[in-house]
Amino acid sequence: MTTKVVAITGASSGMGKAAVQLFAQRGWIVYGGARRVEKIPTGANIHPVKLDVTIDESNQNFIHVILTEQHRIDVLINNAGYGEGGPVEDVPISNVRKQFETNFFGAAELTKLVLPTMRQQTSGRIVNISSIGGDLYMPLNAYYHASKGALQQWSDALDIEVQQFGIRSVIVQPGGTQSSWGKITMDNIRKNLKPDSAYLQFATMIGDALDSANGAISATSADLAKVFYAAATDVKPKHRYFHSFSDRLVVRIARAYPRMYRAAFMAILKHQEKKSSR
The string of pLDDT tens digits covering residues 191-214 is: 788 888 898 888 877 776 666 655
State the DSSP code for 86.
S
| Cα angle: 170, vertex 172, 175; to 5 degrees | 160
What average pLDDT score do residues 56-69 get? 99
Q: Which residues fall within 8 angstroms of residue 82, CB to CB, at 6 or more apart?
A: 99, 102, 103, 181, 184, 185, 188
> Catalytic site residues?
12, 130, 144, 148
Residue 244 pLDDT class (50, 70, 90 cuts): confident
What average pLDDT score do residues 112-116 get? 99
Residue 179 pLDDT class (50, 70, 90 cuts): low
**Most confident residue range from 108-117, 178-187, 200-209:** 108-117
Residue 122 pLDDT class (50, 70, 90 cuts): very high
Which residue, 12, 5, 169, 157, is CA-closest to 81? 12
Computed from CA positions of residues 142, 146, 152, 156, in that sequence, does the dihedral angle turn out positive or negative?
Answer: positive
Report the mean per-residue pLDDT for the chain.
90
Residue 182: the pLDDT is: 61
Residue 273 pLDDT class (50, 70, 90 cuts): low
The one-letter amino acid at 20: V
What average pLDDT score do residues 133-138 get? 88
Q: Which residues fall within 8 angstroms of residue 251, CB to CB, at 6 or more apart?
A: 132, 135, 136, 173, 240, 242
Options 3.40.50.360, 3.40.50.11270, 3.40.720.10, 3.40.50.720; which CATH number does 5-276 get?
Answer: 3.40.50.720
The string of pLDDT tens digits covering residues 9-55 is: 999 999 999 999 999 999 999 999 999 999 999 998 999 999 999 99
φ, ψ of residue 80 to 5 degrees: the values are: -60, 135
Q: Which of 56-65, 186-195, 264-273 has the weakest average pLDDT?
A: 264-273
Residue 247: the pLDDT is: 87
Give, for 63, the enclosing helix (H) or strand (E).
helix 56-70
What average pLDDT score do residues 216-237 get? 91
Residue 88: the pLDDT is: 93
What average pLDDT score do residues 210-219 get? 62
pLDDT at 61 over 80: yes
Q: What are the helix (H) ranges across 101-218?
A: 106-121, 142-162, 181-192, 200-214
Distance CA 258, CA 188 (A): 28
Residue 183: the pLDDT is: 65
Helix (DSSP H) and strand (DSSP E) numbers for the chain: 10, 7
The residue extents of the domains of the chain are 5-276
Percent of the chain with pLDDT over 90: 65
Distance CA 109, CA 126 (A): 12
**Total-model pTM:** 0.90
Q: Which residues fall within 8 angstroms of residue 173, CB to CB, at 6 or more apart?
A: 130, 131, 132, 134, 135, 240, 241, 242, 247, 251
Residue 210: the pLDDT is: 66
The separation between CA 10 and the C-alpha centre of its own chain, rounded to angstroms, equals 9
Q: Based on C-alpha coordinates, what's the Rg of the chain?
A: 19
Residue 267 pLDDT class (50, 70, 90 cuts): confident
Residue 215 pLDDT class (50, 70, 90 cuts): low
